[in-house]
Amino acid sequence: MSAQGPGSQVWLPEHLKQAIEAASVALWSWNVDSDHFTMDERAFDLWGLPWADKVSFEELSAHIHPADRDRVRAAFTGTRSVAGSYEIDFRIMLGDVVRWISARGQGADAGIVDGVMFGIFLDVTNRKQAEESNELLAGEMSHRVKNLLAIATGLTHISLRSAKSLEEMANDLTQRLTALGRAHDLVRPLPGMEGKAALIGDLLSILLAPYDNPEAFAGRIRVAVPRMGIGEGTATTLAMVIHELATNAVKHGALSVQEGTLDVSGSCDSTHLTLIWAEDGGPAVEGTPEMRGFGSKMISRSMAQQFDGALTYDWQQSGLVVTLRMRKDRLAA
Give residue limits of the domains in the chain. Answer: 14-123, 185-330
Is residue 79 pLDDT above 70, yes or no?
yes
Question: What tens digit of pLDDT does each residue of 54-72 get?
Answer: 999 888 989 999 999 999 9
46 burial type by CB count under 10 A (0-12 exposed, 13-18 middle, 19+ buried):
buried
Global confidence as pTM? 0.48
pLDDT of amino acid 206: 83
Q: Is 187 or 225 the better-scoring residue by pLDDT?
A: 225
Choice between 4 and 277, residue whose per-residue pLDDT is larger: 277
Predicted pLDDT of residue 10: 46
Give domain 14-123's CATH number out of 1.10.540.10, 3.30.450.20, 3.90.1200.10, 3.40.50.720.
Answer: 3.30.450.20
CATH code reported for the domain at 185-330: 3.30.565.10
Span 202-244, pLDDT tens digits: 889 888 877 775 554 556 889 999 998 888 778 888 888 888 8
Question: What pLDDT shows up at residue 43?
Answer: 92
Q: Identify the pLDDT of residue 3.
A: 47
